[in-house]
């Protein structure tokens, strides 16, 4: 699996960028070609969904810091997967000036139709 960097473009053009490396990214197909050909990083505007898997040392970072940064960068969907039992997923969606909103953590089976139809058996993630 390749590491994917995302420039959140939160600062001014002449300032150093804020780059994050989500655990999983779903990006627009056209951006993959640009990244491969030009050796660039993905831009936040390329990303449809960023997913972070919580680890013991990243809980606050994933739930607060990255959540705020990804929302500020305009990434439309952000999922936080927590593998501590019971396995859970928080599906955040961008709601304008409110930042991300979410219906709360889901255990068991996660189903959605946005940003694409998917069904995930969360307990099966533990193998």
pLDDT band at 64 (very low <50, low <70, confident <90, very high): very high
Mean predicted confidence (pLDDT) in 22-45: 88
Per-residue pLDDT at 84 exceeds 70? yes
Indicate the average pLDDT of the chain.
92
CA separation for the pair 27, 14 (Å, rounded): 25
CATH superfamily for domain 6-126: tt1808, chain A (3.90.1570.10)
Q: How confident is the model at residue 51 (pLDDT cuts 50, 70, 90)?
A: very high
- For residue 19, give Cα distances in angstroms to 11, 64, 93, 104: 11, 16, 21, 27
Q: In the predicted model, what is the mean pLDDT of residues 80-100?
A: 96
Top pLDDT among 1 and 100 is at 100
* Among the ranges given (8-12, 56-60, 73-77), the one the predictor scored with the smallest mean pLDDT: 8-12
Q: Which of 58, 35, 54 is nearest to 45 (CA)?
A: 35
pLDDT band for position 106 (cuts 50, 70, 90): very high
pLDDT band for position 80 (cuts 50, 70, 90): very high
Distance (Å, whole) CA 98 – CA 115: 19
Residue 6, pLDDT > 60, answer yes
């Amino acid at each position: 699996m390749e590491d994917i960097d995302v420039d959140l473009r939160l600062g001014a053009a002449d300032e150093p960028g804020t780059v994050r490396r989500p655990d999983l990214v779903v990006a627009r197909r056209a951006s993959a070609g640009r990244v491969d050909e030009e050796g660039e990083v993905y831009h936040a505007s390329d990303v449809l969904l960023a997913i972070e898997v919580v680890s013991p040392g990243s809980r606050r970072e994933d739930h607060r810091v990255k959540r705020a940064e990804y929302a500020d960068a305009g990434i439309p969907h952000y999922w936080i997967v927590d593998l501590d039992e019971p396995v859970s997923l928080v599906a955040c969606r961008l709601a304008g000036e409110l930042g991300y909103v979410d219906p709360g953590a889901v255990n068991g089976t996660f189903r959605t139709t946005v940003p694409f139809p998917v069904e995930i058996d969360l307990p099966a993630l533990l193998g």
